Amino acid sequence: MESKIIQPKIEIVDSIRLIGHIKATIHRASNGFKPEVVHDEHNTIEAVYLNHLAAMLAANTDRSLADLFTAVATPPTAGKDGIVIKNSIGTEYCMKCTGAAALSGYTLGWTGASASRKLTGEFVGYAVTFNTASNIQMGHGWDITEDWTGASGLQIAEASSWTTLAIASALDYLYIEWTITFA
């Protein structure tokens, strides 16, 4: 009987999966600034960003979120990175994503290590209502006339869903903690 040698087949498959998570906490002046979690769930990572990550394997590009918004403003500061929120009539605001947080317990900007990073933004100074998931966005290179779609812009993620949130007082603080995990 003739023996056959079977050669093993080795297949190496690497995969990357992005998992987004968004948490929003409001501190209302009317209740002594006690924290109230108003939104806490996973979010959608935009296909354009996934495509960008794939393209980065073959090109030396830089679309990091390193030039963060330094103050709450409307309209958002051109060319900056971070979190932008739009109210129910389309007015755009950037969240302060760097510097010291007004309330203890929050670190603005990037935190985390290894495969999980969190960007925290602070919003204060306006009484507004935010009511649509697509109006809560994270991106690179804000363009005042073209949102994230300008030549240097890149929208990275948006909330998958959102509960209507009315910020009743300009003294209320809203913190959004946006975690992206490469898994």
| pLDDT, tens digit (0-9, with 9 covering 90-100), for 124-179 | 999 999 887 778 899 888 988 888 887 778 888 888 888 888 899 999 999 999 88
| Distance from C-alpha of 26 to C-alpha of 111, rounded to nearest angstrom | 20
Q: Give the pLDDT of residue 14.
A: 44
Provide the total of helices (H) and of strands (E) in the chain, helices listed first: 1, 11
Percent of the chain with pLDDT over 90: 40
Q: Is the link from the previous residue into 76 a cis peptide, with omega within 30 of 0?
A: no
Whole-model pTM? 0.79
